[in-house]
Amino acid sequence: MADLFSVHEDPASDRSRPLADRLRPKSLKEVTGQSHLTGPEGALTRMIGSGSLGSMIFWGPPGTGKTTVARLLANETNLAFEQISAIFSGVADLKKVFDMARARKMSGRQTLLFVDEIHRFNRAQQDSFLPVMEDGTIVLVGATTENPSFELNAALLSRARVLVFHPHDEASLAALLERAESHEGKTLPLTEEARASLVRMADGDGRAILTLAEEVWRAARDGEVFDAERVQQIVQRRAPVYDKSQDGHYNLISALHKSVRGSDPDAALYYLCRMFDAGEDPLYLGRRLVRMASEDIGLADPQALVICNAAKDAYDYQGSPEGELALAQACVYLATAPKSNAVYTAYKAAMRTAKENGSLVPPKHILNAPTKLMKGEGYGKGYAYDHDEPDAFSGQNYFPDALGRQTFYDPPERGFEREIRKRIDYWNKLRKERGEE
């Protein structure tokens, strides 16, 4: 396993600096965990080999090396490095940086401007980068934890290449712990289970795993070894990387929905619990389960909607944590129910037809005629009361004459819709027979 960061022994190192800073890579070759970018065939390696850098957006979760890589890029291409944060900077700060970059350009040196949290700049501020990017005053490297497609101007994105930074996997984080132990000259006082727990707590964040390791060393007394439960008490568990209004939210709800649709109750429960654990509003999840009952189960199991509404009401009545079990029960019910999107498909087709065909008048024979004038116009004339017909079925046309009969709902041979299919086929048979008479 390759090292995440190479170890640089420095006896004069400032021990007050955080361990993550002391283990920071000194060249792009030392960065691992992002081999698709910095490896021998990586995108950044090829870009440097070409002799010029274009503007870039680094998109990825915290602790994956975005800032470090930006600094190393400037070093390896002999560009002046400037860094600002969108959280603390405004128009005046941008103007100052741009003016310095223009002066530097006149002396023959280009500037790499690293903008942390670039998505926090508003649209007008993002537009201010365009002229200095186009004339080569700066090479922009923006870092964001949010989806650039949603958060950045299209004009800015069209001038910059988006490079994705991946979370560190467990093997990479474990290797980083080994590097830290080598650098510090001591092992972490953890059982094997506690060590694995510490890696999971880091949640793919390289900086976090080193911070957690420092906390363990600070807390440990001579000869003390922590088990998994104790280490969680000592370092406190990091909250999962999850933003209820951004990608983390949408990724997990998508995974939950698709697991239910794919009839995998175990995966569905896992993602439901991930969202509970991250602090998602359980009533939001209840509403989504109700939606799934209609969209993906439908009339294949009519009880699905009833159970999901009952689960939502149960949570509303009991609150957390008792009510969450009702939502889990509904989730498993949906995942194990027969699946059908026939009603959902029929609804969309009917809505499309309604929108496309305007205000067509229903056939007169099914219109009420409460006045003599309406009776004189033929309203209600020829209407057959179905309960008085054989099989309680008249087979009349109910669509507007200008539209003609349409078929939207096509139930499959699954679950309760198997019975509905039989009914529809029987009615179609009667309709055809009576139409031929």
- In the numeric block, which tokens belong to residue 380? 């209600």
Does residue 34 contact residue 93 with C-beta atoms inside 8 Å?
Answer: no
State the pLDDT confidence band at 4, using cuts at 50, 70 and 90. very low
Domain boundary among 149, 164, 179: 164
**Of 16-25, 189-198, 333-342, minimum mean pLDDT range:** 16-25
pLDDT at 352: 92
At residue 5, does pLDDT exceed 60? no
Could you tell me if 365 and 331 lie in one domain? no
Note down the domain range covering 313: 247-336
**Of 3-7, 337-341, 355-359, 409-413, minimum mean pLDDT range:** 3-7
At residue 97, does pLDDT exceed 70? yes
Could you tell me if 318 and 396 lie in one domain? no
Q: Which of 316, 341, 335 is nearest to 326 (CA)?
A: 316
pLDDT at 234: 83
State the pLDDT confidence band at 337, using cuts at 50, 70 and 90. very high
At residue 70, does pLDDT exceed 90? yes
Instruction: Specify if 169 maps to a domain.
Output: no
Q: What are phi and psi of 84, to 5 degrees?
A: -135, 160
At residue 245, does pLDDT exceed 80? no
pLDDT tens across 269-307, in order? Answer: 999 998 988 878 899 999 999 999 999 999 999 999 999
- Give the CATH number for residue 312: 1.20.272.10
- Give the CATH number for residue 77: 3.40.50.300
Could you tell me if 51 and 135 lie in one domain? yes
Could you tell me if 54 and 126 lie in one domain? yes
Instruction: Specify if 408 maps to a domain.
Output: yes
What is the pLDDT averaged over residues 244-267?
Answer: 86
Could you tell me if 328 and 277 lie in one domain? yes
pLDDT at 417: 94
Could you tell me if 327 and 377 lie in one domain? no
What is the pLDDT averaged over residues 22-48?
Answer: 87
Could you tell me if 383 and 313 lie in one domain? no
Instruction: Specify if 113 maps to a domain.
Output: yes
Instruction: Specify if 65 maps to a domain.
Output: yes
Could you tell me if 39 and 154 lie in one domain? yes
Instruction: Specify if 154 maps to a domain.
Output: yes
Could you tell me if 278 and 376 lie in one domain? no
Neighbour-count burial of 346, counting CB atoms closer than 10 A to its CB (0-12 exposed, 13-18 middle, 19+ buried): middle
Neighbour-count burial of 51, counting CB atoms closer than 10 A to its CB (0-12 exposed, 13-18 middle, 19+ buried): exposed
State the pLDDT confidence band at 210, using cuts at 50, 70 and 90. very high
Instruction: Specify if 425 maps to a domain.
Output: yes
Helix (H) or strand (E) holding 38: helix 35-38
What is the pLDDT averaged over residues 96-107?
Answer: 93
What is the pLDDT averaged over residues 34-51?
Answer: 89
pLDDT at 237: 60
What is the pLDDT averaged over residues 181-191?
Answer: 91
Domain boundary among 273, 301, 336: 336
Instruction: Specify if 330 maps to a domain.
Output: yes
At residue 416, does pLDDT exceed 90? yes
Could you give the percent of the chain with pLDDT greater than 90? 54
Could you tell me if 329 and 410 lie in one domain? no
Q: State pTM to two decimals.
A: 0.63
Output the 3-class SS for 58-111. EECCCCCCHHHHHHHHHHHHCCEEEEEECCCCCHHHHHHHHHHHHHHHHCCCCE
State the pLDDT confidence band at 6, using cuts at 50, 70 and 90. very low
Q: Would you tell me the crossing angle of helices 206-219 and 192-202 to the nearest 10 degrees?
A: 140
State the pLDDT confidence band at 339, using cuts at 50, 70 and 90. very high
Structurally, the chain folds into a number of domains equal to: 3
Give the list of residues 6+ apart from residue 8 with CB closer than 8 angstroms, or none.
26
Instruction: Specify if 208 maps to a domain.
Output: no
What is the pLDDT averaged over residues 242-268?
Answer: 84
- Give the CATH number for residue 431: 1.10.3710
Could you give the percent of the chain with pLDDT greater than 70? 93
State the pLDDT confidence band at 325, using cuts at 50, 70 and 90. very high
pLDDT at 244: 54
Give the list of residues 6+ apart from residue 357 with CB closer than 8 angstroms, or none.
400, 402, 403
At residue 1, does pLDDT exceed 90? no
Could you tell me if 364 and 331 lie in one domain? no
Neighbour-count burial of 237, counting CB atoms closer than 10 A to its CB (0-12 exposed, 13-18 middle, 19+ buried): middle
pLDDT at 242: 58
pLDDT at 247: 66
Could you tell me if 281 and 390 lie in one domain? no
State the pLDDT confidence band at 33, using cuts at 50, 70 and 90. confident
The C-alpha angle with vertex 285 and arms to 301 and 315, in degrees rounded to 5, equals 85
Domain boundary among 120, 135, 164: 164
What is the pLDDT averaged over residues 91-109?
Answer: 91
More confidently predicted of 12 and 95? 95
d(C-alpha 6, C-alpha 178), whole Å: 11
State the pLDDT confidence band at 432, using cuts at 50, 70 and 90. confident
At residue 312, does pLDDT exceed 90? yes
